[in-house]
Amino acid sequence: MRIWRNTPKDILLLGLSVAQFAGTVWLAVRWDDASIPARAGGTAALAVMTAYNIIVISHLFTHVPWFTSDRLNAAVSVLNSANIGQSVQAYQLTHVRNHHRFNNDYPGPDGSTRDTTSTYRRGRNGEHAPLLRYALGGAVESTIDRAREVLYVVRLWRVGPGETRLRSLASRRERRRIGELRLIQADRAAHVLTPALLALISWQWVLLSYLPAYFVALTMVNVQNYYRHYGADPTERAADSVSHYGRLYNLLTFNDGFHQEHHLSPGMHWSKMPQVRERNRDRLDAQPRIVSPVPAMLGFLDRRRPLLHRTSTSGAELGGTS
């Protein structure tokens, strides 16, 4: 019986998911006896693990689930929802069906973007939003959303009639739609109940380590997304994001640096990103595009990055003042 949908290599991502969950529990258990430096180091490690999961593990899973079995994929979704403090299934809907449809677009005539995570969403005159506003403001908004989901316990975390965004992104095929919305419900229960149960081990750890680490992780994820698109040209499909081809980085992140290639083939397995690059080499080389010498998380160090969005005529025409 075939278990893996694409390759057994995905067991590495599954192993990292399980290790993160186990490591999180261990940090909570050790909190009371840990020294101040150990507590600080554990909080930093938790922030990095959570950000890495969102950026790499859950991101790859939402595009290409690992198993042939829907039940096993649902179990992974629940596990990583506990790891990243939000529903992986909801992330799949908003990321795959929104971001990869509108690709970090410019504001339209109404002054807003169709991509709800677009770096231009709160920018002015066709420019990206300021980094701090995008990174910290987005983290605050996400934290408020997660706090709101805690209160959804009154309906056992089901997707309510008022959650129009998620409902609009869910499948139109009834059976699949029901499955997606139910999985969001299970994911929410996991990511809400996990810190609640960990609080029974150490409520001080949840308050002083888990919650700060979660906010820092969300900020890191937003910085990553910002520099994955900063300066790129949203009007050109082969130049609307930024790649980084460092071998070590791509080894450690399962080819996360091939972001332009990922935009061209979002449904392609991570192990095939170099092949996507070769297959599209002529197209990629046909116009100016951005290749960063540093990973996106360190994009602020790329001082010589060209700002292609400023030369885009469509950007000048569509740039809003939201």
pLDDT tens-place string over residues 92-147:
999 999 999 999 999 998 889 999 999 999 999 889 999 999 999 999 999 999 99
Please give the pLDDT value at position 160.
96
Please give the pLDDT value at position 171.
96
Please give the pLDDT value at position 322.
30
Say how many C-beta atoms besides its own lie within 10 A of residue 264's C-beta.
20
Please give the pLDDT value at position 316.
43
Helix segments in the chain, DSSP class H = 11-30, 36-52, 59-63, 70-84, 88-94, 100-102, 131-151, 164-169, 174-201, 203-205, 211-229, 247-252, 259-264, 273-279, 281-285, 313-318
Please give the pLDDT value at position 197.
97
Which of 231, 272, 307, 235 minimizes the C-alpha distance to 280?
272
Please give the pLDDT value at position 311.
84
Task: Enumerate residue ranges in the chain where pLDDT < 50.
Answer: 314-322
DSSP tag of 192: H
Distances (CA, A) of 65 to 11, 86, 147, 176: 12, 17, 28, 15
